[in-house]
Amino acid sequence: MLCLGFQVPGRDGVELISFSRVPLGLDFGNASPVTVKAVQAQGAADAAGVRSGWVILSVNDQDLQNMDFRAALKLIRSASASLPGRPTARPVELRPALPWSEMPPLRAALLQELSSASPLLPGSPANTLVYQCKHNAGLGNCLLMFLSFAQRAEASGGFEEVLFDGTSLPLYGDISALFPPLPIISAAAGDFPSSSGSPPCVLDQRSREFGRCGSFASCRGVYERLGGITTEDAAAGRALASGHLRLSSAVEACLREASESLGLEEALGVHVRRTDKGREAPSNLSLTVGEVAAKVFQRVRETGASRAFLASDDARFLAELRCSLEAAGLPTVVWGSQLSAKEGQACHLDRSVPGLEKAADAMADCFLLSQCKALISTYSSISVVATLWAKAGFSWSHFVEPELTSLGPGATSPEGSEMSDPAVRSCEVDKHEALNLMPCPHYSNSTSSVLRCILWKNQTGESAFDEETNAPKEEQDDEVLQYFEELSRSKERLTEFSSFRTNVFSHHFRDQLFSWSRGGMLPRIYMLDEMDKTCAYMEESLGYRYSMEHWFAGMITMNPNVLVDNVEAADYVFLPHCATGVFMHMVVKDLKREEEEEEKRKERKATAGHRPSAGTRKPVPLRRLPPVNASIAVRRRMGDNFLGYEGNLPATPVQSLDRTYLMYKVLSRFIPHPEYQQCLHRSDCKFLIASIYGRHVWREFASHYGDKAVFVTHAGMSPWLLQQPSDMFVKRGQDELRGRSTGGTAHGECRASCELHCVLDPPAVLQQDIVLPWVVAFEWTSRSRQTRDRDILAFYGGTENSCSRRDLREVFQGSLQKELDYLEAPPQAASAARGPHNARKRVLIFPPDFRLLQQDWSELAYRSRLCIVPDGDSPNTGRLIEVIMHGCVPLIISNRLQPPLHEYIDWSLVAFFMREESISDLPRILEERFAGPRGQEEILKKQELLQQVAYTFDYNANGVGTLLTIALRERMRSFRLSE
């Protein structure tokens, strides 16, 4: 017998397709003419993409249809002449849906054993049959068809062994590690069968050679209308199973250890099959938890079992049954299978669970059920296989049978336990609690599965929403702070921006780029002193999110092309500082002080017995944060303790840092320098200041410099959007919006955190300032580029730190709950409720009290076509860059955003804009503008350009630094022209 194998490049495992007694390897990867080649050397094997020793047969579809059986054998014979020897076995690579540490120990041990198994083994008797199941069936059905095949093989005679081939099951893939190794035998010319009618080696299930159903016992025990298996079926099936249905020695050893550990010799096996059995076994779906529990207790009393081993494909039903039994005093044990996160779907049909993993769980449940004292089950193939695997004397029954068959000796309740009728004690398990038995996989093709997992995490408290991205490791921080050690040493590097066929860069940027390429000069920067040691220490504690001030100083220091030694030749004098780091430390110190004062007040109140004595002052209450829409007067009455227009920054540390650190320490350190005075009195020289926050936060410091300084900042807040044409904004229709104000400060309209957003003195940025994107932890990936699997129309999740976010919550109140309710409804009912094409109209607006893990937010962003980006702590938020990195088109809701590097990026090509006044219309805008084919086309056009923006705003690439250099050069030229 000769085995030819192949390995398709890019696909794991070895696939065998059988012709008669010869497993024939067919490679459909290339549509080439019929060719046969023997791989003899390792170098040739590498070149062919296969392991040394395999004979490769490349056949295209048309050739396969035209090739008869004799031609196939002739090709095999010619290839076998130069076969160098037996193939090299390849271990199975198993990537489970959950980390090993989160699995039950026994299950983890089995899966780890499988991950190192080898499916092929040389040397096996020549008279060996191998069965392959090509049917889209669960593993239990495949095993029953295998037993039917073995039964025919025994009847035909002449075969010593029948093996189950698990290398290519349609619903599982390669699961051969579960079974004994397949034979690999070198062939001689006489080994091929003649045309005289030798019995075929492999029977194809679709050939209808098996008779009725192609399954052992003609599907008794599987189809309810046919009844359970008979005693004769059990006797014949056990003889076949003991001789042919074997697991690999390592797998069987793991499962026997699990059986002993769980004490199954004293357990009643309980198997409840619920999914995809509506036609085969209707009673499976009509059974209630109470009915099953009553039957279980009846069998426990009859068999004398002391516990129950539970197995099911329905996580919620299993959890409720387990709770009910244990509440009545019956101990239960389970294997802990990875079930489908999609309610009502069979696990073997769920592609999100690895094939080998779900096959291992099915085999584990089946084998462990066979090791129990007795079995009671619904109608299913797993129950039948478990019965046939069991020893003689094993009793089995079905829940729907009025009288139990083949019962063991009767017995009373287990010794030492007090079991009551489960009907007396109700036990209802919350639908989210059932998911404890079904942890969420890291990735699933189903958005419903992801939402169900997120809902479970939220209900169980296993998530915590964080508006900021996760804190990086130290080495990641180091990378972020060294962005541009080699920034733009050559002008030729700038040509990469014009390499795109459709370009997101504005005409203004292209003019600046080509002007520079024709012989322009770089901006010349003089660095006034270095950052002091205090700043160096603070750099380590800031993290990547607030690293821009340190990054900018490092970029200048490491770029000799822009750094000059003579201030007289400088266009800019850079003033280094670490205001953000000092501010963060002051905030922490201020909070600790307030906490200490609060504790002292509580102690004094407790000592006084809640009755202040005469002459003592009443404790001063903590100042509370005023509402986000509070007026200026209200804030002044409350002491103006917070700057509500910039992330609710505490005013005391802001003012203290502005007046002491910036105005006294920083400014007083720079003023005595002659270089400072030289630039101060030159009209063509500007001071260069990097600051996370804008001019409106450090008011005295910014007012001192005025337009003598250029701020490089994240504070993108200006009237820029109000100056854009109306056709740039999405809306329901021109007629409905006529007469509406698009700006102003009228009360009742949404003004981000508060009205102070619109009354800024000084402004956040001047026209000469440069707004940079925030530093984020995400980067563009291959998944960002994909478009097909985005079945969420619009998505938003964030904290309620602005007026527009509050309005979003109010407009979409209840919509998320309705979407989550669909998850619990049957698929047909959910589809009917949503309407036609419902899957791609899903809108997910998470309220602020729904806590999302950052990785869950990321997963939803990858599945979304539109990501809503309202104003947050400030109009320019890190979320804008994060959604771009996920390939999700931003829908920006703002009246005051100045996007990063807005003069160089044509933002209308990559984002949609909407005014805050239109938030109430957003549900209808999404439905009418974006849900249809034309809207999808609009979104797709913008998404195709997002990669260019993502590259430009990636601080680990050259984009931000290059555009910043061009912006400084442009301003340098304008300063000189205005001189």
Residues 593-617: tens digit of each pLDDT: 888 888 888 888 777 655 544 444 4
CATH of domain 224-439: 3.40.50.11350
The predicted pLDDT at position 186 comes to: 34
Where residue 746 falls among pLDDT bands split at 50, 70, 90?
Answer: very low
Helix ranges, 625-727 (H): 632-637, 651-656, 667-670, 674-680, 699-705
What is the rounded average pLDDT of the residues 776-783?
87
Structure tokens belonging to residue 926: 């999404």
Say whether pLDDT at 490 is over 60.
no
Q: How many residues does the chain have?
A: 979
Where residue 530 falls among pLDDT bands split at 50, 70, 90?
Answer: confident
Where residue 825 falls among pLDDT bands split at 50, 70, 90?
Answer: low
The predicted pLDDT at position 431 comes to: 41
Q: How far apart are CA 851 and CA 844, in angstroms?
A: 14
> What's the one-letter identity of residue 693?
Y
What is the rounded average pLDDT of the residues 102-110?
73
DSSP 345-386: --GGG-TTS-HHHHHHHHHHHHHHHHTSSEEEE-S-HHHHHH
For the ranges 281-295, 439-453, 604-618, the maximum mean pLDDT occurs at: 281-295
* 157 compared with 380, residue with greater pLDDT: 380
User: Which SS3 state, helix, strand or coil, does residue 549 take?
Assistant: helix
| Cβ-contact 815, 864 below 8 angstroms | no
Q: How far apart are CA 827 and CA 555, in angstroms?
A: 55
Strands 22-24 and 17-19, bridge-based pairing: antiparallel
Structure tokens belonging to residue 161: 């062994």
The predicted pLDDT at position 926 comes to: 93
Say whether pLDDT at 141 is over 70.
yes
What is the rounded average pLDDT of the residues 623-647?
37
Range 85-88 contact pairs with CB under 8 angstroms and sequence separation of 24 or more: 85/53, 85/186, 86/53, 86/122, 86/184, 86/186, 87/3, 87/5, 87/14, 87/51, 87/53, 87/54, 87/120, 87/184, 88/51, 88/52, 88/53
> What's the one-letter identity of residue 76?
I
Q: What is the mean pLDDT of the chain?
A: 71
The predicted pLDDT at position 84 comes to: 38
Say whether pLDDT at 474 is over 70.
no
Say whether pLDDT at 842 is over 60.
yes
Say whether pLDDT at 332 is over 90.
yes
Say whether pLDDT at 845 is over 50.
yes
The predicted pLDDT at position 48 comes to: 38
Say whether pLDDT at 53 is over 50.
no
For the ranges 194-203, 454-463, 685-694, the maximum mean pLDDT occurs at: 685-694
| Residue for token pair 């198994």 | 117
The predicted pLDDT at position 493 comes to: 40
Q: What is the separation of C-alpha 311 from the centre of its chain, rounded to a whole number of angstroms?
A: 29
Least confident range of 427-436, 767-776, 890-899, 936-945 = 427-436
The predicted pLDDT at position 94 comes to: 61
Q: How far apart are CA 248 and CA 873, in angstroms?
A: 60
Computed from CA positions of residues 210, 211, 217, 223, in that sequence, does the dihedral angle turn out positive or negative? positive
What is the rounded average pLDDT of the residues 911-918?
94
CATH of domain 777-972: 3.40.50
* 170 compared with 528, residue with greater pLDDT: 528
Say whether pLDDT at 884 is over 90.
yes
| Residue for token pair 């500007």 | 686
Say whether pLDDT at 62 is over 60.
no
Computed from CA positions of residues 621, 623, 628, 633, in that sequence, does the dihedral angle turn out positive or negative? positive
Beta bridge partners of 396: 375
Say whether pLDDT at 205 is over 90.
no
For the ranges 326-335, 508-517, 836-845, 899-908, the maximum mean pLDDT occurs at: 899-908
What is the rounded average pLDDT of the residues 535-552?
73
* 12 compared with 326, residue with greater pLDDT: 326
Spell out the SS3 assignment of 96-143: CCCCHHHCCHHHHHHHHHHCCCCCEEECCCCCEEEEECCCCCCHHHHH
Q: How far apart are CA 269 and CA 370, in angstroms?
A: 8
Q: How far apart are CA 905 and CA 539, in angstroms?
A: 30
The predicted pLDDT at position 224 comes to: 84
Q: What is the 8-class DSSP label of residue 6?
A: B
DSSP 797-831: E----SHHHHHHHHHTTTHHHHHHHHHHS-HHHHH
| Cβ-contact 91, 154 below 8 angstroms | no
Structure tokens belonging to residue 572: 């800019």
Q: Return the beta strands (E) in 848-888 as ranges.
A: 864-870
| Cβ-contact 422, 290 below 8 angstroms | yes
Structure tokens belonging to residue 780: 């563009």
What is the rounded average pLDDT of the residues 567-593?
87
What is the rounded average pLDDT of the residues 922-930?
92
The predicted pLDDT at position 903 comes to: 93
The predicted pLDDT at position 50 comes to: 35
For the ranges 99-103, 448-452, 647-651, the maximum mean pLDDT occurs at: 448-452
pTM here is 0.54
* 454 compared with 468, residue with greater pLDDT: 454
Where residue 529 falls among pLDDT bands split at 50, 70, 90?
Answer: confident
CA distances 827 to 443, 568, 819, Å, are 21, 74, 13
Where residue 154 falls among pLDDT bands split at 50, 70, 90?
Answer: confident
| Cβ-contact 38, 218 below 8 angstroms | no
Say whether pLDDT at 847 is over 80.
yes
Least confident range of 5-14, 333-342, 584-593 = 5-14
What is the rounded average pLDDT of the residues 373-383?
92
What is the rounded average pLDDT of the residues 700-719?
92
User: Roughly how many angstroms between the first and final C-alpha of the chain, as a whole number?
Assistant: 92
What is the rounded average pLDDT of the residues 411-430?
43
Give every CB contact of residue 344 below 8 A, 6+ residues apart in sequence. 275, 826, 827
Q: How far apart are CA 542 and CA 151, in angstroms?
A: 72
The predicted pLDDT at position 537 comes to: 64
Angle between helices 231-244 and 139-156 (to 10 degrees): 90
Domain boundaries, the chain: 17-80, 100-183+197-219, 224-439, 777-972
* 365 compared with 15, residue with greater pLDDT: 365
Query: Percent of the chain, pLDDT > 70?
Result: 63
User: Which SS3 state, helix, strand or coil, does residue 220 take?
Assistant: strand
Query: Percent of the chain, pLDDT > 90?
Result: 24
* 102 compared with 172, residue with greater pLDDT: 172
Q: What share of the chain is helix, strand, coil (3-state, %, to 5)?
A: 45, 10, 45
The predicted pLDDT at position 484 comes to: 35
What is the rounded average pLDDT of the residues 38-60?
35
Say whether pLDDT at 67 is over 80.
no
